[in-house]
Chains A and B, each alone.
Chain A
Amino acid sequence: MASTLVKEYFREDKLPHIWCPGCGNGIVTRAIVKAIDSLGLDKDNVCIVSGIGCSSRAPGYLDFNTLHTTHGRALAFATGVKMAKPELEVIVITGDGDSSAIGGNHLIHACRRNIDITTIVFNNNIYGMTGGQYSPTTPTGDKGTTAPYGNLDANFDLCELTKGAGASYIARGTAYAAKQLEKFIAEGIKNKGFSFIEAITACPTYYGRKNKKGSAVDMLQTVKESAVMDKAWDRLSEEQRQGKFKIGSFHVEAKPEYTEEYKKLIASFNKGEE
């Protein structure tokens, strides 16, 4: 049996999903579905694209047009879908590794083009699927199987990265504050341009165990306590910000969208032929 939401938008026969007990991926996936539902979008007009990773398995459970592609390349496939059928709402589900390690180049260029795609990164600070290697968002000093003594690299702030690269809607929410996350995702879908939503979530199995972060409940509690709304964040001292991170809808900008510009270009050629 399932709730009306699950009956309407999930492939019920594929449930229960394969994610570990307490993995935040299910919470974020539900928030995406709620956002789509709140906008009243026609299911057949939505295409959800993912790469490879635990998070990227989400579209397999969802009853829309779905595309499970190759590691790091979700945005390349999604760009193709959007160019071929600009009328579709194209949504990308990706992991921190998928989007910012192997797929980092696709990410910055999709931002730069401001193509009308909404990307939701499930940021669990680790490569979950392959057993806990550190990713570009593993905090400096934290452990992974490939960083047994602590990660030396500085971690990306994905919202700052996508801002620098040119995304026109940027927000960060959490699996704890799932209602607010749903609102950010809906705003991102409504934005005509490249929208980037970072969902802070938890991988209790690998990141949690490697870094002694406790149970799934403990990890969600930590997310709750560490997330600070941007307005409140601005009033904190550097010292008070230690161990915390900022959430909110950070950036909205009206600027030319790629498929629209492409359409105009084609139209200009057709005019010349008349």
Chain B
Amino acid sequence: MATTTTVGLKSHTVEEEWCKGCGICVAFCPKNVLELENEIVVVKRLEDCIQCGQCELRCPDFAIWLGGK
């Protein structure tokens, strides 16, 4: 699997099968873009994303990244 969310020029992809729901990306996102739903990350407010890359930087499971599939 893997879901790509796109808003304008911005895209984020989540590989749900790798996400372990640790919440690290959610907690350290400076713009509150991400949420956990049923222990899997969901890209909720991509319009607020500043593309800083911190979610991708600290995801211990390589399960979220900037860009498409």
Closest-CB distance, A208 to chain B (whole angstroms): 12
**Which residues does chain A contribute within 8 Å of B57, judged by CB atoms?**
27, 30, 178-179
B20's closest neighbor in chain A, by CB?
A: A21
Inter-chain CB contacts under 8 Å: number: 71
B27 pairs with A217, CB closer than 8 A:
yes
* Distance in angstroms between the alpha carbons of A221 and B24 in the assembled complex: 10
- Does A15 touch B at the CB level, under 8 Å? yes
Interface string of B9-38 (1 = CB under 8 A from A): 000010101101111100110000000000
Q: Given known contacts A22-B23, A216-B24, A220-B24, is B15 in contact with A1 (CB within 8 Å)? A: yes
Q: Please tell me the number of chain B residues within 8 Å of chain A, measured between CB atoms.
A: 24
- Does A60 touch B at the CB level, under 8 Å? no
Closest-CB distance, A26 to chain B (whole angstroms): 3
Max count, chain A CB within 10 A of own CB: residue among B1, B57, B67: B57
| Interface pick from A2-10, A38-46, A149-157, A236-244 | A2-10
**Which residues does chain B contribute within 8 Å of A30, judged by CB atoms?**
57, 62
- Does B69 touch A at the CB level, under 8 Å? yes
**Which residues does chain A contribute within 8 Å of B2, judged by CB atoms?**
1
Closest-CB distance, B17 to chain A (whole angstroms): 7
Q: Given known contacts A2-B15, A16-B18, A22-B20, is B28 in contact with A220 (CB within 8 Å)? A: yes
- Does A176 touch B at the CB level, under 8 Å? yes
- Does B61 touch A at the CB level, under 8 Å? yes
- Does A24 touch B at the CB level, under 8 Å? yes
Cβ contact of A15, chosen from B18, B27, B56, cutoff 8 A: B18
**Which residues does chain A contribute within 8 Å of B18, judged by CB atoms?**
15-16
* Distance in angstroms between the alpha carbons of A26 and B1 in the assembled complex: 20
**Which residues does chain A contribute within 8 Å of B15, judged by CB atoms?**
1-2
Q: Given known contacts A10-B62, A217-B27, is B20 in contact with A3 (CB within 8 Å)? A: no
* Distance in angstroms between the alpha carbons of A15 and B30 in the assembled complex: 28
**Which residues does chain A contribute within 8 Å of B13, judged by CB atoms?**
1, 3
* Distance in angstroms between the alpha carbons of A220 and B57 in the assembled complex: 13
- Does B46 touch A at the CB level, under 8 Å? no
A217 pairs with B69, CB closer than 8 A:
no
* 9 A-B pairs (CB sep. < 8 Å): A5-B65, A16-B17, A22-B22, A22-B24, A26-B60, A26-B61, A26-B62, A178-B57, A216-B60
